Amino acid sequence: THRQSGAATKTPSTVTIRGHTCKTDPEWFNIPDNVLDSATRRLHLQKDHPVYITRQIIQANFPTPTFKYHNDFSPVVTTRQNFDSLGFPADHPGRARSDTYYINDTTLLRTHTSAHQAETFRANESDGYLISADVYRRDAIDRSHYPAFHQMEGARQWDRDEVPGGDVAAAVLRDLETLPKHDVIVEDPNPPWHAERNPVQDQHHTNAEAEAIGAHLKRSLENMVVDVFSRAKAAAKRADPNFVDEPLRMRWVEAYFPFTSPSWELEVYYAGDWLEVLGCGVVKQDLYINAGVSSKLGWAFGIGIDRIAMLLFKIPDIRLFWSRDDRFISQFTGVSDDLEKLKLFAPFSKYPPSPRDVSFWLKASTSSAAGGNVKNVFHENDIMELVRNIAGDVVEDVRLIDEFTHPKTGRKSMAYRIVYRSLERTLTTEEANKYHDNVRRALVAELGVELR
């Protein structure tokens, strides 16, 4: 079988993750040591860490007792929790070993906090919940992507059997009236639902219900983002009374998730670009039905906590959260106990980048399935992880800069630019060359490419 790059060269027979020991399957196990190390950190529970502080601020926007908080669910979950319970089809790309870290065929590191939706609906302990947790994905390498990150899941539901006259839409609209209003301009050009692109679950919900739930969801999340930004602005003003920030800009985009409909993503304008910060939607009724609470209906969201923390503290690179450098961590001391002490991150360095390019021919296999045509076997996440395994947090960005297919042979050539840059010191030319040589060698050894 094809061995995923990035898997430890020798699979241990068991792994223990936060006290939970599992048997590995060498055909499936693909978790490198750096990711296993990340699973020990629990940054969202480390007092005064920016991920912890950001969790605190998001939580404060969804108060108890309406929302019950869960902050310590195990990252080791089943394929049933992470995918099946949420209606992911059997062939969904998210299930692939190129995208997900597996321990064995049915056990994996959760790729999102939604893995806990079904059991939390079933527990039925409150009208809503928040789940914060570390999550894991094989993914791109750049300043806003890291193989381990943190999400906050939130959900709010109403019970048909408990609202006056069984009128959920009216009850939700009454609750919406009690939410604070903000005066930030939000771009939301799409209709509240769309028959083809973003349908109402019309077997279960009226249009009025879906619209009311969507409106309550959007306002709740906008208020949270406005709160985060006003805290960031206040911090900047404490440091410099003349500080003038760019006005906050947000926009809603239609989205798709197997477990919500209609669905949206919220983007925030940051450093010259739109940054996606969360996904959300009206919960698919099958989730409530399967959880034994079929009279409920409501919304759910999943936020990237690290992304919000970057906006809040103006942290330029997601790798910084994992830094043990005192120049980073000491900047936040005391903030958890007194949010008025919040300060923007003061960059302690801008060390020079060391970009290096590599180009290669993909390994070509002529398969009969492809009708005798050349098939180029390749998944970009394999490159990402190979580079991350060699350079660790010294890699800042990996991107495709060129690709073409040879007109005669059908072979594919690709060129990547890898930017090496330490957050903590200047890399010497020799060090950067050494990382890059090792990457080149591993590309040949593990992915079978031919260097150009």
| # residues near Mg ion by CB under 5 A | 1
| Smallest distance from Mg ion to CB 431, Å | 35
How far apart are the C-alpha atoms of 431 and 354, rounded to whole Å? 10
Interacting residue with ligand FA5 among 55, 97, 137, 284 (CB under 6 A): 137
Residue 385 binds to ligand FA5 (criterion: CB under 6 A) = no
Local structure of 434: helix, strand or coil? helix
The residue written with tokens 């670009």 in the block is 273
Which of 77, 255 has the CB closer to Mg ion?
Answer: 255
Strand order in the sheet with 76-78: 76-78, 107-109, 102-104
Tell me which H or E stretch contains 269. Answer: strand 260-270
Which of 268, 364 has the CB closer to ligand FA5?
Answer: 268
Part of the chain binding ligand FA5 (CB under 6 A), chosen from 211-219, 227-235, 296-304, 375-383:
296-304
Interacting residue with ligand FA5 among 49, 112, 138, 216 (CB under 6 A): 112
Q: How far is the CA of 217 from the CAs of 132, 142, 252, 263, 363, in angstroms?
A: 18, 30, 12, 11, 47
Tell me which H or E stretch contains 420. Answer: strand 412-420
Part of the chain binding ligand FA5 (CB under 6 A), chosen from 145-153, 159-167, 211-219, 444-452:
145-153
| Smallest distance from Mg ion to CB 423, Å | 26
In sequence order, what are the residues at sequence separation of 6 or more whose Cβ sits closer than 8 angstroms to the Cβ of residue 321? 43, 49, 50, 51, 146, 306, 309, 315
Residue 281 binds to ligand FA5 (criterion: CB under 6 A) = yes
Distance in Å from the first CA to the final CA of the chain: 27
Residue 220 binds to ligand FA5 (criterion: CB under 6 A) = no
Residue 6 binds to ligand FA5 (criterion: CB under 6 A) = no
| Smallest distance from Mg ion to CB 265, Å | 6
How far apart are the C-alpha atoms of 76 and 79, rounded to whole Å? 10
Part of the chain binding Mg ion (CB under 5 A), chosen from 140-148, 209-217, 275-283, 336-344:
275-283
| # residues near ligand FA5 by CB under 6 A | 24
Interacting residue with ligand FA5 among 39, 168, 172, 300 (CB under 6 A): 300
Which of 175, 267 has the CB closer to ligand FA5?
Answer: 267
| CA-wise closest residue to 384 among 30, 102, 92 | 30
Local structure of 59: helix, strand or coil? helix
Hey, which residues does 413 pair with through a beta bridge?
361, 404
Interacting residue with ligand FA5 among 73, 149, 321, 360 (CB under 6 A): 149
| Smallest distance from ligand FA5 to CB 116, Å | 10
> 136 with 109: CB under 8 angstroms?
yes
Q: Which positions lie near ligand FA5, rule CB under 6 A?
A: 112, 114, 137, 139, 145-146, 149, 151, 153, 257, 260, 276-281, 300-302, 304, 306-307, 318
Residues engaged in binding Mg ion (CB under 5 A): 279
